[in-house]
Structure 1
């Protein structure tokens, strides 16, 4: 054997030091039989990096699988219904699958090109039960997750933007869709000073739905005390878009929505706001909002008044929608996929594993060895 080898750190030709004990790598199966490579890997003494094992051409550093096996495993993981099914098919344990995904994501992020991204989305996702949340950064045009960090504070969001985008990319962003969480808005203003903030229309709809549901719950409780069960089982009708209500419920709902119930008035106010998004220009939308706000603030419905004031306080960054026409609809679709990933994995113990899984399935990365 040659008495010299390349340093794995700097590539310099170095004298051979010794040979490690035999190491084993899992390779692609041969005729349905598990196949393994065995090798005594030489070590070299580098002047800069001390004694190191040379790189083997068939596997990455710290991996116990050949590159061909890892490439096959990545395809299986992407094609299988769940990680558990892929794991059984490959004959691996959970730790081995996690290691393969981690190396795949690392390769994908290293290969990701710093292309121009015009519009971003920022949203939070629950990590564990309770109040543990993560912040996700989305490329709205590319339909992919760019990166994830733990927490939802201003510093967390700023770190997320800075670690996912180069300074050149940050300078090119024109708009960011997010909810009305002030910490996110502050972080975007600092990290992306040239980008417009667009408060997401779907989050605003959720706020108004919450207000309607609060009115319904309070009124239903009061009616039940006097034996009036009109609102029993009607929750879906008040929260769904009217065109999505089935015929069976529609007849009952036609009576309820035209009644003198408080929730009927709250629902009508919510429905009027839907027309806000149909305008072509911000000026006309602002006139619509002024009429809507006047009705909402005089409604004598505390939950509606509270949400109306909140929306008015954020109105400048809501009207930017008519300039960019973006929302977090892409993020909501990816969030559904992330929820499926969580369910299939029965949850995650570590944030690192959760992040790798999201980027593996939703990052749009080139991960093949």
Structure 2
């Protein structure tokens, strides 16, 4: 009969199957004579005990293995032990291959579904996954970015901090929340954090406080798209306020003009320009607000920080009193974040995979139905394809391993130490364009 289990350290004695599961009786095939604890003592039999272990599903049904496991006592150290069975997991009542199966399948199935499939408690499946990620993180280290980005994704109903390497277009980490209580210890304990020179962020005060407290050497740059969006928001606020007092038919027409009014002026041509001018004729304040929006966005057309700051000062002085309240959020942000906003002109960086990040947020939310945040984080960070695309091979000089370390060598000058060149793979994290492509192709489904 073909051995049902096909495990080297176990011999199948009996298999009983029903509609729900397979029950297998087996015995170990590798008896021991010398104590593996003290390495010298002889062992003698000390009874046996039946134990059960879950194994990988077969034909879509769970498998439980019962083993009459022999016990031994060591004559030298007097300790008792069960016969070693190489194919059993050392931590849980399961085979080692079931642990490997759970680790692999937990990236594509919910813990609840996987627990039902292998007939284990859901908490056990989660703990197996957690152990795997802990082992993985101990081995896989992404190089700390020189230019770091902090943005957020809304996953499973909560905002999570997404930390990126802007130069490499990779995800460096995903944190379970964007709260200060999580981010402060994270950045305090970040490896090689002194290498971070610049941090791009939106105008979330917690990010600023955390960076100031933990990365004092780093300069902050406000993502230009966030501050520019506030100019569009001010215009939108006025459009909605005007709509409320219009007759129903005209109210509907102005509702449909949202994207028209948000267009840049140089993109308004032909019929679009005609429609926009008609609205500005009827509502002069709308025209003034549109001009202010355009004036603010044009600040980023300047090439140097002094020019941009001068243009901003002029723009602030041109806001009429009747529109001051409409643009108050924007002008307050410019005042409170002045240095960080205009640092862009010294280091023009953004969290600028805006479309990519938005797509990630959308798909991660969809993926999040039934998955935990930890699983989604692991699926993003440890995807082999995306990690490979985000890695580089570099050549470095290291001390020759063959160099002597005796007393005579210690008296030699450091200049005489022999060097050799080695090539090594440096990981920067999963490449964002690859993640987006994989999501589009349904790879994570």
TM-score (norm 1): 0.71
1:39, distance to aligned residue in structure 2 (A): 7.2
TM-score (norm 2): 0.61
Distance (whole Å) between structure 1 residues aligned to residue 130 and residue 267 of structure 2 = 42
Greater strand percent: which structure?
A: 2
Paired position in structure 2 for 1:21: 51
Structure 2 CA distance for partners of 1:161 and 1:56, relative to 1, 3 Å: farther
Residue in 2 that maps onto 1:155: 181
Q: Which residue of 2 aligns with 1:283?
A: 306
CA contact (8 A) 1:155 1:187 kept: no
| CA radius of gyration, larger in | 2
Moved more, 183-192 or 15-24: 15-24
After TM superposition, the structure 1 = structure 2 runs for residues 6-85 of structure 1, keeping only pairs within 5 Å, are: 21-26=51-56, 38=65, 40=67, 56=86, 61-62=91-92, 65-66=97-98, 69=101, 73=105, 77=108
Cα 1:234–1:269 change in 2 (3 A) is same
Residue 192 of structure 1 pairs with residue 215 of structure 2: yes
> Once superposed, what is the RMSD of the aligned Cα atoms?
4.5
Q: Distance in 2 between matches of 1:361 and 1:269?
A: 41
Distance 1:14 1:343 in 2: 58
Selected match of 2:343 from 320, 338, 342: 320
2 CA distance for matches of 1:52 and 1:297? 85
Deviation at 1:333, TM superposition (A): 2.4
The 1:66/1:198 distance shift into structure 2, 3 A limit, reads same
Choose which of 326, 345, 352 in structure 2 pairs with 1:329. 352
* Superposition deviation, residue 313 in structure 1: 2.1
Which residue matches 1:111? 139
Q: Kindly state the Cα deviation for residue 172 of structure 1 after the two structures are TM-superposed.
A: 0.5
Question: Residues 229 and 125 of structure 1: is their aligned pair in 2 closer, same or farther, counting only changes over 3 Å?
Answer: closer
Q: Which moved more, 1:134-143 or 1:254-263?
A: 254-263
Offset at residue 200 of structure 1 (A): 1.4
Tell whether the 8 Å contact from 2:149 to 2:165 is kept in structure 1 after alignment: yes
Task: Report which of the two has the higher share of helix.
Answer: 1
Residue 207 of structure 1: aligned partner: 230
**Distance in 2 (alpha carbons) for counterparts of 1:56 and 1:258:** 84
SS of equivalent residue, structure 2 residue 101: helix
Aligned with 1:357 (options 376, 383, 390): 376
Secondary structure of the 2:255 match is coil
Compute the displacement of 1:346 (Å).
Answer: 2.3
- Deviation for aligned residue 1:248: 7.4
Structure 2 counterpart of 1:143: 170
- Which structure 1 residue ranges, 5 or more long, are not aligned? 78-82
Higher normalized contact order (CA 8 Å, seq sep 6+, divided by chain length): 1
> Match for residue 152 of structure 2?
124
Q: How far 1:133 moved relative to its partner?
A: 3.4
